[in-house]
Amino acid sequence: MILRQFLHTDPVAASYLFGCGGKGVGVVVDPVGKPDAYLREAEALGLQIRYVIDTHLHADHLSAGRALAEAVGAPYVLGPGADVTYHYKETSDGEVLPLGNVEIEVIHTPGHTPEHICLLVCDRTRGEEPWFALTGHTLMVGDLGRTELATSAEDGARALFTSVQRLRALPDYVEVLPGAFSGSVCGRGLSGKPSSTIGFEKRFNLAFRIDDQDAFVRAMLADIPPPPPQAAAIRAANAGLLSVQDLSAAAQEKHA
User: pTM of the entire structure?
Assistant: 0.95
Q: Which of the four pLDDT bands, split at 50, 70 and 90, describes residue 256?
A: very low
CA nearest neighbour of 75 among 137, 141, 28, 129:
28
Which residues, in sequence order, are CB contacts of 190 under 8 Å at separation 6+?
140, 141, 142, 143, 180, 181, 182, 183, 184
pLDDT in tens, 10-31: 999 999 999 999 999 999 999 9
- Cα–Cα distance for residue pair 26/20, rounded to 1 Å: 6
For the cut 70, the answer to whether the pLDDT of residue 253 exceeds it is: no
The answer to whether the bond into 229 is cis (omega within 30° of 0) is: no
Neighbour count for residue 183 (Cβ, 10 Å): 13
Q: Which of the four pLDDT bands, split at 50, 70 and 90, describes residue 255?
A: very low
| Residue 120 near residue 129 (C-beta atoms within 8 A) | no
AA identity, residue 214: D
- Cα–Cα distance for residue pair 87/131, rounded to 1 Å: 31
User: What is the fold, at CATH topology level, of the domain defined by 2-248?
Assistant: Metallo-beta-lactamase; Chain A (3.60.15)
- Cα–Cα distance for residue pair 1/152, rounded to 1 Å: 39
pLDDT in tens, 135-167: 999 999 999 999 999 999 999 999 999 999 999
Over range 67-80, report the average pLDDT: 98
Could you please report the per-residue DSSP string of 202-243?
HHH-HHHH---HHHHHHHHHTTPPPPPTTHHHHHHHHTTSS-
pLDDT in tens, 181-214: 999 888 888 999 999 999 999 999 999 999 999 9
